[in-house]
Copies of this chain bind each other. A is one copy, B any other.
Amino acid sequence: MFEIPTFVEILDFIGTFAFAISGIRLASAKRFDWFGAYVVGLATAIGGGTIRDLLLDVTPAWMTDPIYLICTALAMLFVIVFRQYLIRLTNTFFIFDSVGLALFTVVGATKSIELGHTFWVAIIMGSITGAAGGVIRDVFINEIPLIFRKEIYAMACVIGGICLWICTSLGFEDYLSQIICGVTVFVTRIIAVKYEITLPILKGEDEIK
């Protein structure tokens, strides 16, 4: 029954875990109960992929494989048991989260291409897979979605998707294009946070001198 997970499955697990942790921590800060925190964690982890699969008209992955539910339950357990140490693990979670973002982007974009969609649809689907879970999380906790206001987050997915496009256009092997895409997302995200690179704010109409 139990098979040794592939490298991609391990990355997927790490990403899901990190995304679920981010949802559960924010839910906890808003004093959600255990059930609410689990649901927010799950929505953060699988929300992006679910919206993508609805748009692509395929069955969401979590409806055929319970790993995402189990992974969120483990994330929940982790937060409950280790909550006083979480703050010290912020950097670790950031790395995990970036791994998840990179992998989800690759998975989303690749799935779209395999279903025969154009590259700009693939770029959007990669970004939705990576970033829409966080938007759902922020709607649930009644905050303005973080990715609309701060940090290079979904933008890293877009850049990664464009790299995938270029690599494929240049005739690279699929696996190589995917690795380059994932690494680009990961590195873009890390660099953006390390050097505090942000997109410009769109100035309001009353702010013009």
Q: In the complex, how many angstroms separate the beta carbon of A41 from the nearest chain B beta carbon?
A: 10
The A contact surface, by secondary structure, is: helix
Instruction: Determine the distance from Cα of A199 to Cα of B28 in the docked complex, in whole angstroms.
Output: 13
User: For residue A150, which residues in chain B have a CB less than 8 angstroms away from its CB?
Assistant: 33
User: For residue A30, which residues in chain B have a CB less than 8 angstroms away from its CB?
Assistant: 144, 149
Query: Does A87 lie within 8 Å of B202, measured CB to CB?
Result: no
Q: In the complex, how many angstroms separate the beta carbon of A116 from the nearest chain B beta carbon?
A: 11
Copy count, this protein chain: 3
Which of the residues B34, B36, B147, B205 comes within 8 Å of A147, measured between beta carbons? Answer: B36
Q: Can you give 28 A-B contacts (C-beta < 8 A)? A: A24-B202, A27-B202, A28-B205, A29-B204, A29-B205, A30-B149, A31-B202, A32-B149, A32-B202, A33-B148, A33-B150, A33-B201, A33-B202, A34-B202, A35-B147, A35-B158, A37-B148, A39-B148, A39-B154, A40-B148, A55-B60, A66-B120, A79-B202, A80-B202, A84-B208, A135-B140, A139-B140, A140-B145
The 8 closest A-B pairs by CB, nearest first: A36-B148, A33-B199, A28-B202, A37-B202, A142-B144, A32-B148, A84-B208, A34-B199
